[in-house]
Structure formats: structure tokens, C-alpha cells
Structure 1
Amino acid sequence: MAASETHHILPLPSFDKPVKLLIVVAPYYKDIADELVAGAKATIERCGGTWDLIEVPGALEIPTAIALAERQSNFDGFVALGCVMRGETTHYDTVCNDSSRGLMLLGLQGSCIGNGILTVETREQAVVRAEAAGQDKGGGAAAAALHLIALSRKWAGVRKGIGFRPEELRLAGDTSA
């Protein structure tokens, strides 16, 4: 059982410039969502970061909301939170797979996202994973986003020196590109 396993957790990164994250939550199961949000907020604040919070109707809307914010706002990263419980139909599979796929595609495009959308069989599983004093999956998702922001900042402006250079740089003698 996973609850009895020990896990290595990376220490939170530190930042010389403050970070601002957007927490996007689908509060379909409000009590569980509230616990996830509490954990995410506490983790962000431990790093000296700030956060904004928005709610969307369901887990399928989370990637779209993050994509809109990525294009139209100034957030350093995003925390996706919600809970999907297996029901009697295959809708569970669609919601789990498509929300995860949407977040992964945004991440591969450069967005710094921590995925804290729980996918569980029972309410009891969700409660154990969500509790900020327990498994704190909301805090874990925030930590994942913070680690990705730290990597993004570390590598910002680093160039590999391969490929084509814009003509104006080549003519100016710039060899760094």
C-alpha cells in the first residue's frame, strides 16, 4: 500500500525574485478541493511566493483556464487542483486522461504546472491524499510548479549556440547565438 511507503521529497527551491502562481481549482468536491488549496497556498507562501485563485466548473476546464492565463497574464507558474472519482460510466477515464493530457501538453510548451488533480476510486482515498496534514497533494503540486519555475529561471537566456542566427546578429558579429 502506498501509504506505508517512504518517499524522498526535494527541499523547496529558493528565489531571488518573488514568484506568482495561479491556483486553478475545480471544486466539484468542495471539501476535498478546499484541503488541496490550503496545502498549495501554504507551500507557495513558504517559498515567499504569492498566489491568485480561480475556480472552474470541472477538471476538463483546468487546462483551458491555464492556457488562457499563460497567454493573457503574468504568472510564473500554475497549480492545477481537483478531484475525479470513479463513477459508473467511462466518463471518469475521459476526464482523467484528457485533463492530464491537456496539462502535459501545456507543460511541454513551457508552462510551469504542478498537477494536483486527484484521480481516485473512493472518497476515502481522496480525503487521505488531499489533507494538508496528511499526504498534502495540493502542497505537492505547488512544490512541483515551484521546482519547474526554478529550472525555468535557471536556464532563462541560456543559448546552445546551434541553429540559425538572425541576420542582424550575424552582421553585428554576435557569436553567442
Structure 2
Amino acid sequence: MAALTEHYTLPVPGFDAPVRLLIVVAPYYRAIVDDLIAGAKTMAEGAGAAVDLVEVPGALEIPTAIGMAGRLAQYDGHVALGCVIRGETTHYDTVCNDSSRGLTLLGLQGLCIGNGILTVENMEQAAVRADPSGQNKGGGAAAAALHLIALQRRWAGAKRPMGFGREGERDVIRLAGELDGSGQG
């Protein structure tokens, strides 16, 4: 049935101003992650983005590193790459859920993040998903970050009125007296 499913991929956006991406990688399964990195870099560079890469010990540390970069560095977007393969314990569920939740919360705070942390049952599934000439999940994560950056830039100039004022009017709060602050009124 999966072979009958059609997938649509949005075209990668173009940018007038330079884009800086940070790729944060948990290299536990090095061969898989190297493919994810290759796919992400190819996608990012094809869109004209400059790329930096940092490694962290595991998938649980990826959201922390991205959160720190969001506060302390000047990146337009972030790409999370890693691989979690189901084992014999519930640790798999914790790592998958908490890394995903951490990235989602950072995204809701306004960071542009593409999540390329593979969560699979076995090494064969990981290899298929990581392959840059196959499913290219690394490239997909970079593309997701680029799309979010494009949206953020598009909406960055939009200003919403504050309080009860109408667009184009400034809000005036008069507590007592005249607007000049004389207290007469």
C-alpha cells in the first residue's frame, strides 16, 4: 500500500539575504548520521545557505544545544540530525518523545527548526531514510528549516496593533489630566 502513496515536496524557497543554518548532530550511529549530514548540507547549500555543524553526545542533547544557539548565536535556522533505533527497553520511547517535544517547544518559541532525528525499528530502516539519493531525511530536515526561515522573514515586517487601537493609530492611555502631563483636566 505504501508504494501507492504519492508524496509532494514543496519547492525550496529562494532568499534575497544570506541564510545561516546550524546543523546539530548526535553521531551515535556515525554511518547513518554522515548520510543525514550529506543530505542536509547539499539541500542547504543548494539554497545558498551557509552551514555550521556541531556535535552533541545524543539525541536528548540536540534540543538543548539548539536552545543555547537560539539565545547565544546568530543563526537563522537549525537542523536536528540523529538516529534512535528501538532497543529492548523503554529508553527508546523516552529519547524519541523528549527530543521531539524539546524541538517542538523551541519551534513554538520562534526558532526555525527542521527535525531530522530518525526514529526507527532497525538499522535497515535507518539506512533507507538517511540515504541522500533515497528518502534523504537529512535534506528534508534542512528544507523544513529553510521553509520556516522564509515564513519568518515574510511575516517579520507585519505589525499588529496593540491594545484597542486601530492600525496606523498610536494607543493613548489617559490616566488623569491633559495629554501634556500637566495633571489638568
TM-score greater than 0.5 by the shorter chain: yes
Equivalent residue number for residue 35 of structure 1: 35
Equivalent residue number for residue 174 of structure 1: none
**1:1-177 counterparts in 2 under 5 A?**
2=2, 5-163=5-163, 170=171
Larger radius of gyration between Structure 1 and Structure 2: 2
Change in CA separation of 1:43 and 1:3 when aligned onto 2, cut-off 3 Å:
farther
Measure how far apart 1:2 and its partner are: 3.9
Separation in 1 of the partners of 2:89 and 2:9? 35
Amino acid at match of 2:106: L
Amino acid at match of 1:31: A
Measure how far apart 1:157 and its partner are: 2.5
Instruction: Decide which structure has greater helix share.
Output: 1
Amino acid at match of 1:10: L
TM-score scaled by length of structure 1: 0.91
Equivalent residue number for residue 176 of structure 2: none
> 1:100-154 CA distances to partner (integer Å, 9 max, x unpaired)?
0000000000000000000000100000000000000000000000000000000
Q: What fraction of aligned residue pairs are identical, expressed as a percent?
A: 69
Q: Which runs of 5+ in 1 are unaligned?
A: 172-177
Change in CA separation of 1:3 and 1:115 when aligned onto 2, cut-off 3 Å:
farther
> 1:71-98 CA distances to partner (integer Å, 9 max, x unpaired)?
0000000000000000000000000000
Separation in 2 of the partners of 1:119 and 1:134? 17
Give the aligned length: 168
Contact 2:162 2:171 in 1 (8 A): no
Change in CA separation of 1:150 and 1:79 when aligned onto 2, cut-off 3 Å:
same
Change in CA separation of 1:121 and 1:3 when aligned onto 2, cut-off 3 Å:
farther
Measure how far apart 1:161 and its partner are: 1.6
Measure how far apart 1:4 and its partner are: 5.4
Separation in 2 of the partners of 1:4 and 1:85? 26
Amino acid at match of 2:52: D
Measure how far apart 1:164 and its partner are: 6.8
Separation in 2 of the partners of 1:88 and 1:151? 41
Separation in 2 of the partners of 1:125 and 1:159? 45
Separation in 1 of the partners of 2:162 and 2:124? 52
Separation in 1 of the partners of 2:43 and 2:119? 21
Separation in 2 of the partners of 1:66 and 1:104? 11
Equivalent residue number for residue 175 of structure 2: none
> 1:39-82 CA distances to partner (integer Å, 9 max, x unpaired)?
00000001011100000000000000000000000000000000
TM-score scaled by length of structure 2: 0.87
